[in-house]
Structure 1
Amino acid sequence: MKFQSTRGKAPLVSGLQALMNGLAPDGGLYVPAVFPKLDFDWERLKDASYVAIGTQVLSLFFDEFSEAEITNFLTEAYENFDYPQKVKIQELDSRKDLLELFHGPTLAFKDMALSLLPYLLTAAIQKTQHKETLVILTATSGDTGGAALNGFNNVTQTKIVVYYPSVGVSKLQRQQMTTASGKNTHVVAVTGNFDDAQKAVKQLLIDQELIQRMQARSLRFSSANSINIGRLAAQVVYYVYAYAQLVQKGRLKAGQTLDVTVPTGNFGDILAAYWAKKMGLPLGKLTVASNANHVLTDFFASGIYQADRDFKVTSSPAMDILVSSNLERLLFDLAGADSVAGWMKDLAEKQTYEIDDKTLAKLQKQFNAAFCDSAQTSQTIKKIFTENNYLLDPHTAVAVAVNENFPSPDQQLIVSTASPFKFAETVLTALGQTAAADPELNLNKLSQFSKQAVPAAIADLFTKKPVHTQKLAIKDLRADLIETLGL
């Protein structure tokens, strides 16, 4: 398997090289040069474990690893998840199911890929006999940071640097990041939003002067953001597993079409569903669910991507994003490298671009897109708890609300991306309860109200003292990185 850049100006690389590079040297994202196809034997897959299905999928992307190696990576990566099957199918009604992806150590779907990525990266280093230490440079809107810091905690030959917006992340997300105790961790709050941090990370990753200085110190950049191909490939797995489980439960017949709705900001989670569909999974319409930062909703309606707009801090902070990096991979698939390079140049220089009518028609054939605001999010949390005695986090509530806009004869899968306890203040308020100033108290209040235990992964989180308290302007990140790495 070889990987190419979405912008067409970088050489083909192996899976191992794509993993370690993170971003292609021309600024593009890696995609398979030829897309693999999966053998969907549902009689076998419906009874297969998550690890078994993961081995089958990931072996197609990273054939430098043996199946035994990948099985071992997956087994160890998910060892500490609080649900034996790793992900859970939760029936919402006769036609809709939720895919719970929050049973990992930081209670968000990011754990599904970021628990695995360190195993893939460190094994890639060993196989290629590189002596460098990887510097994992990461921007986060909240959940990626905690999951990456947990996954790379004290992993040999790695340093992890996380930038998060100083305003917008939840108190629990902030606590997870600032209390990261690994000796290889560096966490900084930035005076800007996620898009500012993500833009800075992309610029640093291709900063040639910085790269040369790092090479002299046996350091090289990589990324834990969903620009890294390892994250996307890992996310394909749970769509295949979910389909198999729905067949096993009798919710689907083998080969029947399944529609998927995903709450998204950076477009990685729903792109993984699109990739699963390209590999042959019988998925129908894919629905892009956005919050009040509805740049994607507008884009899918008009073909005009307009990032120059007011940034809104919402109750679903992991989706507070105006520049969706992984959309570039989708556009490459539909229109090719030359078009993508031009559009991304326009985005960088003008904060906007417009795709052609042919590409827009292709998009609209495969995707629905809509958004809901914070008021609708709260209403949905209350409605589902009242009718189903089930707690939604605000991101999943966005997806449930948006899904109502698109009635379909097909079975529906709605991706549930985070534990409601991760956003206890928002959930309590939506349920008509008074949230306290103390986040630990809110965990207990939500537990008592819902009659559910506080997840063990965060039960003692607020007893830990923050060790990362630095706050910097975007313009100071490069100098801080140079100092941190001793360059």
Structure 2
Amino acid sequence: MKKMNLIYKSTRSNNETVTASEAILKGLADDGGLFVPTSIPKLEKSMEKLANMSYAEVAYEVMRLFLTDFTEEELKSCIDKAYDSKFDTEEIAPIVKANGAYYLELFHGATIAFKDMALSILPHLLTTSAKKNNVKNEIVILTATSGDTGKAALAGFADVEGTKIIVFYPKHGVSPIQEKQMVTQKGDNTYVIGITGNFDDAQTGVKNMFNDKELAKTMNDKGYQFSSANSINIGRLVPQVVYYVYAYSRLYKNGEIAKGEKINAVVPTGNFGNILAAYYAKLMGVPYDKLICASNDNKVLYDFFETGVYDRNREFILTSSPSMDILISSNLERLIYKIADNSAEMNSNLMNGLKTEGNYKITDNMRGQLDSFLGGYADEAKTKQTIRDIYEQTGYVIDTHTAVAASVYHDYVASTKDETKSIIASTASPYKFTRSVMNAIDEKYDSMTDFELVDELSKLSNTEVPQAIEEIRSAKVLHDTVCETEKMKDSVEKILGI
């Protein structure tokens, strides 16, 4: 019996329905909404079966349920090209038990951050989608980054035929290693531009270009069309669901949890995609209980879960966990749409309030549907202390974003006495944020250069320096363009010659 195709709709209107491949190609819906599946499919394989599968096999079992218009051959080809020797471990996403929790290490890919988990496969999903839909235009990937998406997308799309990739990043809002990774990116189709604003400015500029109908027409006349590598693209979100299914199956396989035992997930969160993926895994039938949303000083999500009010009207704070320095969490819209009983009208009104007033308030009925979620936050001092404590107690070194989650986790356990086993999403290698990590362990490291710190961290943690770091030690800067926020569109037009 042929499976029914899963259809995708926009969160902002009931008019537009598309297939999975069309949603991946478009990135953003025509009305500015995000594509969501009309229902979340249930896992079809038992946990016993999943426990004995490789990462690639679990990926296929999860993704085939969401990407129903891909053939088995197409999807397996995309998966095989993605989860290969680019990752420095066969497990792809290993779990380390430390300090009373299970750390799901999502940083073993080419750019040592969790974005690799999805951005290793997105270029293949996108080019396959283009073929399926007879697209003749060159696809221009337009992306804003708070530090990690940019490099992971650049690495994924570099020299992929039929594509160009343009990445905007906040010039003074990423770590030195993150910036060096991006500005040394090779590939004739890659473009990296620093902007004088912050990540929210970059993200807003990108969204405005996606919604610019006149620009779309001009581009089409010249043989181009936009797509996105940000987590607004459903082709980013679906691969992230995989590792939450995989993590549970590994804990079960290794005898850490009993059949059907509930576990919590703690996720350091900026744009909300990573924790939304955990929620989708839960809706698919994986026994996750609490989903704990960990924020840094930019605690807009913590306040939202506490009050039901989302308010971006506040100071934007640059922290040592820059990938979470975000005040407009784009992926939250997918959750808002769901708890509004899939009402595009209600969601649209709330998103309009965010755009015009900078805030919105959800109803009591909507708040009642958020019982899976809890918020917590860690300021800079707590983040630092957590890195030091975990290193001193266990010898395990974590990055700043993971430390935000670990701090929130320990606060949660202390205040609730909830002893449920918990997965902490470890979203980046400590090598990506060496200065912040080493300073947290001991301030004596402050006088060292970035690459001296890298070598010191290797000794301290008894781990090898990742290839991603080795290759930028002496790499040449290939991208040095910086523009004002309001000139982002001009920069794109110049690159494309339109």
Bucket of the pairwise TM-score, normalised by the shorter protein: over 0.9
Per-residue displacement from partner, 1:419-443 (whole Å, max 9, x unpaired)? Answer: 0011110111001132346322221
Residue in 1 that maps onto 2:318: 313
Are the structure 2 counterparts of residues 444 and 10 from structure 1 closer, same or farther at C-alpha, using a change threshold of 3 Å?
Answer: farther
Large movers: runs of 4+ above 4 Å: none
Q: Select 2:373's aligned residue among 367, 387, 391.
A: 367
**CA distance, structure 2, for counterparts of residue 218 and residue 436 of structure 1:** 51
Once residues 138 and 437 of structure 1 are traced to their aligned partners in structure 2, the CA distance between those partners, rounded to angstroms, is: 33
1:402 to 392, 408, 413: 408
Question: What is the CA–CA distance in structure 2 between the aligned matches of 1:452 and 1:12, rounded to whole Å?
Answer: 48
Q: Which residue number corresponds to residue 466 of structure 1?
A: 477
Deviation at residue 484 of structure 1 after TM alignment: 0.8
Which amino acid is 1:461 matched to?
I
Q: Secondary structure at the match of 2:412?
A: coil
Superposed counterparts of 1:60-75, under 5 Å: 60-75=65-80
- Secondary structure of the residue aligned to 1:422 is helix
Any idea what SS the aligned residue of 1:435 has? helix
Aligned residue number for residue 93 of structure 2: 87
Distance 2:387 2:185 in 1: 30
How many residues align? The count is 485
Amino acid at match of 1:386: E
2:197 maps to 192
- Which residue is 2:165 aligned to? 160
Q: Tell me, what secondary structure is at the counterpart of 1:150?
A: helix
Q: CA deviation at 1:59?
A: 0.6
Tell me which of 132, 144, 157 is aligned to 1:139. Answer: 144
C-alpha distance in structure 1 between counterparts of 2:262 and 2:44, whole Å: 17
CA apart distance, 1:258:
1.2
Aligned partner of 1:12 among 17, 25, 30 = 17
Is 1:420 the counterpart of 2:430 in the alignment?
yes
Matched letter for residue 55 of structure 1: Y
Residue in structure 2 matched with residue 349 of structure 1 by the alignment: 356
Tell me the alpha carbon deviations over residues 410-468 of structure 1, each in whole angstroms, 9 at most, x when there is no partner. Answer: 21111000000111101110011323463222211212233322112211312001111
Q: SS in structure 2 opposite 1:315?
A: coil
Q: Tell me the distance in 1 between the aligned counterparts of 2:39 and 2:265.
A: 24
After TM superposition, the structure 1 = structure 2 runs for residues 95-110 of structure 1, keeping only pairs within 5 Å, are 96-110=101-115
- The whole-number CA distance in structure 1 between the counterparts of 2:274 and 2:41 is 19
Whole-Å Cα distance in 1 between the matches of residues 456 and 283 of structure 2? 44
Q: Which residue in the other structure is 1:411 paired with?
A: 421
CA distance in 2, matches of 1:449, 1:436: 17
Which region of structure 1 is more displaced relative to structure 2, 274-283 or 437-446?
Answer: 437-446
Q: Deviations over 1:331-380 (max 9, x none)?
A: 111103222101100111111111111112222x1111010011111100
Q: Given residue 64 of structure 2, which amino acid in structure 1 is its aligned partner?
A: S
- Counterpart selection for 2:388 from 369, 382, 396: 382
Task: Return the alpha-carbon distance in structure 2 between the equivalents of residues 147 and 65 of structure 1.
Answer: 24
Using the size of structure 1 for normalisation, the TM-score is 0.98
Offset at 1:168? 1.9
Taking the aligned partners of 1:281 and 1:482, their CA distance within structure 2 comes to: 45
Task: Show CA shifts across 1:394-417 (max 9, x none).
Answer: 000000000112222321111000
Matched, 1:277 2:288: no
For residues 84 and 132 of structure 1, the distance between their equivalents in structure 2, rounded to whole angstroms, comes to 36
| Aligned residue in 2 for 1:287 | 292
Secondary structure class of the residue paired with 2:165 = strand
Provide the residue aligned with 1:207 in structure 2.
212
Kept in 2: contact 1:10–1:26 (CA 8 A): no
192-201 or 426-435, larger mean C-alpha shift: 426-435
Deviation at 1:40, TM superposition (A): 4.1
2:91 aligned partner, one-letter code: Q
The answer (yes or no) to whether the contact 1:10–1:25 under 8 Å persists in 2 is: no
Cα distance in 1, alignment partners of residues 198 and 434 from structure 2 = 22
Write out aligned runs for 1:48-67 (5 A): 48-67=53-72
**CA offsets per residue over residues 270-314 of structure 1, 9 Å max, x none?**
000001111111110100000000011111101111101100000
Cα-Cα RMSD: 1.1
Which residue is equivalent to 1:296? 301
CA–CA distance in structure 2, aligned partners of residues 321 and 390 of structure 1: 28
Q: Aligned to 2:161, what secondary structure does the other structure show?
A: coil
* Number of the residue aligned with 2:453: 442
Between 261-270 and 397-406, the greater mean CA deviation after superposition: 397-406
Equivalents in 2 of 1:89, 1:146: separation in Å?
Answer: 24
The farther-off stretch of 25-34 and 352-361 is 352-361
Asked if 2 retains the 8 angstrom alpha-carbon contact of 1:137 and 1:224, the reply is: yes
CA distance in 2, matches of 1:10, 1:427: 48
The answer to whether the 8 A contact 1:40-1:281 is kept is: no
Cα offset for 1:10?
Answer: 4.2
Q: Secondary structure at the match of 2:292?
A: strand
Contact 2:74–2:128 (8 Å) recurs in 1:
no
Q: State how far apart, in whole Å, the 1-side matches of 2:438 and 2:301 are.
A: 29
Aligned to 1:262: 267
Distance 2:491 2:448 in 1: 32
Per-residue deviation, 1:486: 1.0
Partners of 2:204 and 2:14 lie apart in 1 by 20
Distance of 2:65 and 2:344 partners within structure 1: 23
Q: Which runs of no fewer than 5 residues in structure 2 stay unpaired?
A: 1-5
Letter in structure 2 aligned against 1:434 = Y
Whole-Å separation in 1 of the counterparts to 2:15 and 2:481: 36
Determine helix, strand or coil for the equivalent of 2:227: strand
Q: Aligned partners of 1:96, 1:172: CA distance in 2, in Å? A: 28
Residue of structure 2 in register with 1:221 after alignment: 226
8 A contact 1:134–1:220 mirrored in 2: yes
Q: How does 1:173-184 map to 2 (within 5 A)?
A: 173-184=178-189
Tell me, yes or no, if the aligned pair for 1:9 and 1:26 is still in contact at 8 Å.
no
Match of 1:244 among 244, 249, 260: 249
1: CA distance between counterparts of 2:318 and 2:39? 39
Q: Is the 8 A contact 2:173 2:199 kept in 1?
A: no
> Which residue of 1 is the match for residue 175 of structure 2?
170
